[in-house]
């Protein structure tokens, strides 16, 4: 499809020259080089989500912008991989003259929803309904500098975690860390742990959705300079005790699916894993770990800073806008109401865990 200066293609239909232009525009962006914003992630989603598309904006014969998105049954649009992608938006030439109405019309969508929109997305940020923090670990100056920051801001945490790592070695087996594990069995183990964690905490099991399992499988085999699937595993002896699957570029490790074996929880293997990931990433020249949106105790302990991300939607006037509001806004507002009241949020978390226990009995 095409509409004036905008061409819409399937997620896997871009030519190599277009993909190179995408990468060049991304490299020129002020935003961190998050691998979720690279063409390889969009192409992988396209393999498992048939409605994945890319709008290509031209200036003359030269591509000047790209918007990866998915088109729903009723013409509603959403960011590519919405629900699992941790960085979203358009890849545009700085200063490109483009209106959201023109873009949505060309895409044949009545709305474009996002839940992890980058702060630099000037085209869409003004339509955000909520701002959230994504937590980051700065390792630009090396792992030793990061450790010194941890010692200053949380000395007890670092001392306790390192002591637990040593105890793990004495009582279970010598700790061994693999930053880029290629064993498919280790990835299956991680997904089993993560599914069990979702069920244990009363949350929706992402790996019960076939497309997410297939997407992770495809990305595990992706090896590109700015988007490479990375499975990291912490072993005690020969036994895996914690693992993480994420995506990395040359400068950012996007943390995605961490989990550990509950049998070894007293050793805090997930925290040990993240410290070793930070150490290995720094050795690879990576400058930042993006822990993602959503509050968690381990993120508070590990983070050195925060970046804003946004949730919301831009809509075109008409019935499609009303349909988007009815399908998403009541739930979003309810979630926002609960999050803004810590006692209510704690009660909701306990209720979810209780419901999970009931389902297991």
User: Strand 288-293 to strand 91-92: parallel, antiparallel, or no bridges (unpaired)?
Assistant: unpaired
> What's the structural domain count of the chain?
2
13 & 73 share domain? yes
Query: Residue 28's pLDDT is what?
Result: 95
- Average pLDDT of 253-263? 98
The CATH number assigned to the domain holding 184 equals 3.40.630.30
Q: Select the more confidently predicted residue: 329 or 24.
A: 24
Q: How many CB atoms lie within 10 A of CB 332?
A: 17
178 & 63 share domain? no
pLDDT tens-digit profile of 321-335? 555 455 555 554 545
Task: Compute φ and ψ for 44, nearest 5 degrees.
Answer: -65, -40
Q: What angle do CA 345, 86, 41 make, to 5 degrees?
A: 155
Query: Residue 287's pLDDT is what?
Result: 98
Query: Residue 333's pLDDT is what?
Result: 52
90 & 115 share domain? yes
pLDDT tens-digit profile of 182-232? 999 999 999 999 999 999 999 999 999 999 999 999 999 999 999 999 999
315 & 335 share domain? yes
| CA separation for the pair 9, 2 (Å, rounded) | 9
Query: Residue 326's pLDDT is what?
Result: 56
280 & 344 share domain? no
pLDDT tens-digit profile of 62-112? 999 999 999 998 899 999 999 999 999 999 999 999 999 999 999 999 999
127 & 187 share domain? no
Residue ranges making up the domain that contains 211: 135-307
284 & 348 share domain? no
Is the model's pLDDT at 252 over the cut of 90? Answer: yes
Among positive and negative, which fits the CA dihedral 249, 254, 256, 262?
positive
Q: What is the mean pLDDT of the chain?
A: 90
């Amino acid at each position: 499809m095409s509409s004036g200066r905008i061409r819409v293609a399937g997620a896997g239909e871009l030519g190599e020259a277009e993909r190179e232009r995408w990468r060049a525009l991304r490299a020129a962006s002020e935003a961190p080089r998050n691998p979720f914003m690279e063409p390889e992630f969009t192409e992988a989603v396209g393999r498992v989500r048939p409605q994945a598309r890319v709008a290509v904006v031209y200036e003359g014969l030269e591509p000047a912008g790209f918007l990866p998105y998915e088109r729903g049954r009723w013409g509603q649009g959403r960011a590519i991989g919405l629900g699992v992608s941790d960085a979203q938006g358009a890849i545009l030439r700085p200063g490109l003259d483009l209106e959201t109405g023109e873009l949505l019309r060309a895409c044949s969508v009545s709305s474009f929803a996002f839940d992890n929109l980058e702060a630099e997305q000037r085209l869409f940020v003004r339509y955000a309904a909520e701002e959230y923090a994504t937590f980051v670990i700065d390792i630009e100056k090396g792992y030793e500098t990061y450790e010194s920051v941890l010692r200053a801001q949380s000395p007890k945490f670092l001392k306790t975690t390192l002591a637990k790592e040593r105890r793990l070695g004495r009582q279970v087996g010598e700790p061994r860390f693999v930053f880029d594990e290629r064993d498919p069995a280790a990835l299956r183990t991680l997904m089993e742990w993560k599914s069990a964690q979702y069920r244990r905490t009363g949350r929706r099991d992402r790996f019960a959705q076939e497309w997410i399992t297939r997407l992770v499988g495809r990305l595990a085999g992706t090896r590109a300079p700015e988007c490479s699937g990375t499975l990291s595993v912490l072993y005690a002896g020969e036994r895996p005790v914690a693992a993480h699957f994420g995506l990395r570029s040359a400068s950012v490790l996007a943390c995605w699916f961490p989990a550990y074996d509950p049998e070894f929880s007293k050793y805090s293997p997930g925290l040990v894993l993240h410290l070793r990931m930070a150490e290995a990433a720094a050795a690879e020249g990576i400058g930042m770990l993006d822990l993602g949106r959503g509050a968690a105790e381990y993120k508070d302990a590990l983070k050195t800073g925060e970046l804003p991300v946004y949730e919301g939607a831009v809509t075109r006037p008409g019935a499609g806008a009303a349909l988007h509001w009815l399908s998403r806004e009541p739930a979003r507002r309810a979630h926002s109401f609960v999050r803004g009241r810590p006692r209510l949020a704690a009660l909701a978390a306990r209720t979810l865990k209780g419901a999970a226990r009931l389902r297991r009995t």
